[in-house]
Structure 1
């Protein structure tokens, strides 16, 4: 990475360095170390190389769309691009990416005060009148620079009318005009605008690269910081360079206390951001998976007392679960960048003890707990309830063991040896067991070691299962036929003699998605469909199949209705049949004759004949 120039290197108004006069105002790090050339940009090598090739070959577009999250350099890149388009020195008088020294227009462009580089914030200038001013200004040649550049920040905030007013000028602008747009919500920009621009997606800067960048800035500032502290800042910034510099600025002020001296440490950064010690987070996770509720709550109280936010603790726990699952899946060496060696070691050790289904269960419960804590009036109490729920769930028997206790298929141990199957039970045995005391259930479930079995499902679902969902599959009236397609679902509805629901599924719904293995159906209701059709289908499928189904409604249509497709296919078959010479001769001899489909008699399931 090239050494980054600060604004003070090219601007007479910037200040804040160690040798500046006291009268000059302090310039925050995010402004002081704002990139001035393409070489100063970090993490955007692909975009820089594409622009370098375009400038070298003279294939410079008239419109650019810069997208990305906040703080990755969209506006800065727009200014650097405007500077490159208007770069001019005593020896260079053409657009160029290489700008070793400030040109005649560079300082004014980078300070956003050049008359030929017009910056507009679309968030406060959203109307058609603002775009009309741009269109009118685009007619006139630049005053002093080579190219007139319009930079529109947060372009997605423009109104529909403003976008439409801009289209013609954007498609065929004058030769001396360039447009550069920047947005964090590219999906809100009309496709008609995107198609007229070259799009560049500015990437998040990864943690190691960003930490190294912060380290160089700390050295330039004459400060000192621990590597772990810089990694914490880079991780908290989530790929945003501006966010990282803002946090670093605050961390230096906190550590120095305004008097100089001191070092930015990981502890001070955690206290500043309300983060918990990663080692203590793994300790808390180990307490939860072993079911030690009292110690886990005490650890939570200690973290909260030390300044960690309760909601952030849950987020850190979720991140620890994710790291553990990733290490277990791909190994410590490929688990991801930005992880300390101790984190990889602890995650690897924890992954050896926990199954992947259990980690997935913990992840889901923590995500739901984060949502609850965010809405709760007391986030700490909500976090405690989440931990209690997780601790109680950790030592529950796996679902395959529950099935074995109910007389289902034999469970499989982790060593590959099938668990001993329960003996066949008679009706009297089932009745006697059903009337046994509830206090005997925990003893039965604890008779086997839960660690010997794989977790294959999540028994901690907070939603109560319907009575029909938990009935054995062999119960009377339950269909064991697999439903691999939506057409088979409609056929099952017909077999159950529910004509009203069958007609609705054939004529009044559009299938968006069907997943028979997961029991998920997404439907789009056509005009005339009953509002409660999805709920009616879900309840009946639960009852008829002995399993749980999820029937959701989509806002966008999918496939055509089954009935419409069937009628169209029948019409095509009849039309093809009419073109047959023999049939055509009959129709010619008997003009009033009609060709109509004949319903086929359903073939019995045991009938292997090929005829219907």
Structure 2
């Protein structure tokens, strides 16, 4: 059985002309070989699998060829070329900088540069992945790289040029290799398939080329994998099954459904895609690329930007005729925002679903707006919601009856003239509240329609709070308790109403109200009340508002016989007002568990 060699090695280019996708670079190198104007150091940089090391080998063989061709290629017939092809050349050295990145390895390399070549004109040192060298190794390499012996040429290759020291870059001729185009990759894979006798479809090769992401080596490896799975007949269906690639038909279908506002069908399709094991972020990324291609297909001048097969290009052109540019542009913007937020989202599926709903909402016609203003409610997307909305539009306005029992004190009865030329009092009674489309209540009365806001209606139905203001709650006040009312009250009732009175006192009496909260009124003999003040100043301030205090207690305790005796506290009756820390220390003495809890939770008093 013949030994199997993978396509990436079997079809590796051996001449400049066989290198795919790097025409400008290979032409420059061939001209350098023809003219003999060779630099002492070259730097080949670019992504993986684009031919950096391959071109370095071809270049090393060409400059050592004893009889090069007229266009700068190696002859493959001289002793130097045969030695290179048989891998026994002593003039070409390859070094992997990933595993030989120390100063000692560089010093060993420098010693080899002193020995002139046995055959040929140059000793060529190819250092692959040169960015892996340490800083010390780079510094040791600097002098030799700048002024090497006349028979030495360095060819450095790297995928990360930004990691190389600027002093190294300045000593080299830099060649930037390009990514393989999809079209170039497809053509090369067709050439390989013809030599291998494999039947392929252009759509299948397009999938392989997109999966390779610009790397020919990756494309050839995927091609071998697909060839093993398909057994000599590579089709589009088998390739997407083997590579677990999402079928492009899904993207075409989602775009058409979003254009027609069919959100329910999009959600079903998304669920099927996720159940097959595809990631939601992969779907959004693929859909973004698809919408971008549809946008490019709308103009003949941008149509060549589509790196797809001819059949796929026709499908893009057909869908572009059905989609508006505004829809495609806004869809790209929405999906780009989803791609930005996808990594940080905790519920990724919900983010994808919301994104697809927004895309499907772009072409949704706006609901009818009144008074030239755009309605602020959400657009209707699902069919059942559309039907419900239509029913709401045709249904009559709903009137909710509400009887307002309370009439404000400052509302005067309406007066209407009667036949006897006397004023007859007709109170205005609010009977119903009708809710209109503007969500603003309109109160109907016997005399017509009155306009109210929600705030006014709330104030009408809200009972008035009583405030303690000096001189307003005297014995002649109509709000005072009935003179014949003598309801008994408890000490608890007294303390509650006392605290409530202090809380209702106006801002101008905030100082005295705060001190009154610390007092404890007591019932000496029903209905006599006594309260003690700590000092003469507080007692004088309370004497000024004594009438209001008594009137308020009579009103809320429902006892018109209440009397209030205020006196100055004796020395032994005065209670020290404790601070927060002193209160905590007192509590800790009474209950040591509080201090243990503080230590356990590592708490500190503010």
TM-score class normalised by the smaller sequence? 0.5 to 0.7
Matches within 5 A, 1:483-498: none
Q: Distance in 1 between matches of 2:169 and 2:187?
A: 35
8 Å contact from structure 2 (residues 62, 68) kept in 1: no
Partner residue in 1 for 2:373: 405
Partner residue in 1 for 2:359: 390
* Cα separation, partners in 2 of 1:404 and 1:272, compared to 1, 3 Å: farther
1:159 aligns with 2:137: no
Give the drift of 1:132. Answer: 1.7
Deviation digits for residues 335-357 of structure 1, max 9, x if unmatched? Answer: 4343434444445543653234x
Give the drift of 1:38. Answer: 0.9
Partner residue in 2 for 1:354: 324
Partner residue in 2 for 1:231: 206
TM-score when normalising by structure 1: 0.56
Deviation digits for residues 139-198 of structure 1, max 9, x if unmatched? Answer: 221244431111111112222222222222111110110000111111222222222211
2:116 to 141, 155, 158: 141
Q: Distance in 2 between matches of 1:341 and 1:253?
A: 25
1:217 aligns with 2:184: no
8 Å contact from structure 2 (residues 31, 71) kept in 1: no
Partner residue in 1 for 2:91: 116
1:71 aligns with 2:71: no
Q: Distance in 2 between matches of 1:206 and 1:402?
A: 54
* Cα separation, partners in 2 of 1:327 and 1:390, compared to 1, 3 Å: same
1:197 to 161, 165, 172: 172
Matches within 5 A, 1:307-386: 309-328=279-298, 331=301, 333-347=303-317, 349-350=319-320, 353-356=323-326, 358-370=327-339, 383-386=352-355
Matches within 5 A, 1:159-178: 159-178=134-153
8 Å contact from structure 1 (residues 332, 344) kept in 2: no
Give the drift of 1:266. Answer: 0.7
Q: Distance in 2 between matches of 1:146 and 1:95?
A: 18
Matches within 5 A, 1:513-592: none
* Cα separation, partners in 2 of 1:295 and 1:150, compared to 1, 3 Å: same
Q: How many residues align?
A: 380
8 Å contact from structure 1 (residues 318, 367) kept in 2: yes
Partner residue in 2 for 1:264: 234
Deviation digits for residues 520-573 of structure 1, max 9, x if unmatched? Answer: xxxxxxxxxxxxxxxxxxxxxxxxxxxxxxxxxxxxxxxxxxxxxxxxxxxxxx
1:43 to 21, 36, 45: 21
SS of the counterpart of 1:313? helix
Q: Distance in 1 between matches of 2:248 and 2:30?
A: 42
8 Å contact from structure 1 (residues 67, 200) kept in 2: yes
SS of the counterpart of 1:390? helix
Give the drift of 1:373. Answer: 5.0
8 Å contact from structure 2 (residues 75, 81) kept in 1: no
* Cα separation, partners in 2 of 1:182 and 1:61, compared to 1, 3 Å: same
* Cα separation, partners in 2 of 1:320 and 1:402, compared to 1, 3 Å: farther
Q: Distance in 1 between matches of 2:24 and 2:365?
A: 50
Deviation digits for residues 287-326 of structure 1, max 9, x if unmatched? Answer: 1243322101222234445665544322220111111222
Give the drift of 1:104. Answer: 2.5
Give the drift of 1:252. Answer: 0.2
Q: Distance in 1 between matches of 2:85 and 2:263?
A: 57
TM-score when normalising by structure 2: 0.56
Give the drift of 1:277. Answer: 2.5
Give the drift of 1:390. Answer: 3.2
SS of the counterpart of 1:405? coil
Q: Distance in 2 between matches of 1:71 and 1:402?
A: 62
1:104 to 79, 85, 98: 79
Partner residue in 2 for 1:412: none
1:125 aligns with 2:100: yes
Give the drift of 1:269. Answer: 1.2
**Structure whose alpha-carbon radius of gyration is higher:** 2
* Cα separation, partners in 2 of 1:392 and 1:104, compared to 1, 3 Å: same
* Cα separation, partners in 2 of 1:236 and 1:58, compared to 1, 3 Å: same
SS of the counterpart of 2:297? helix
Matches within 5 A, 1:240-259: 240-256=215-231
2:249 to 255, 279, 297: 279
* Cα separation, partners in 2 of 1:342 and 1:96, compared to 1, 3 Å: closer
* Cα separation, partners in 2 of 1:403 and 1:148, compared to 1, 3 Å: farther
* Cα separation, partners in 2 of 1:378 and 1:405, compared to 1, 3 Å: closer
Give the drift of 1:80. Answer: 0.9
Give the drift of 1:204. Answer: 1.9
* Cα separation, partners in 2 of 1:270 and 1:279, compared to 1, 3 Å: same
Give the drift of 1:388. Answer: 3.4
Q: Distance in 2 between matches of 1:436 and 1:183?
A: 72
Partner residue in 2 for 1:528: none
Q: Distance in 1 between matches of 2:280 and 2:22?
A: 36
8 Å contact from structure 2 (residues 183, 307) kept in 1: yes
SS of the counterpart of 1:27? coil
Q: Distance in 1 between matches of 2:253 and 2:365?
A: 21
8 Å contact from structure 1 (residues 120, 151) kept in 2: yes
Partner residue in 1 for 2:271: 301
Q: Distance in 1 between matches of 2:49 and 2:126?
A: 17
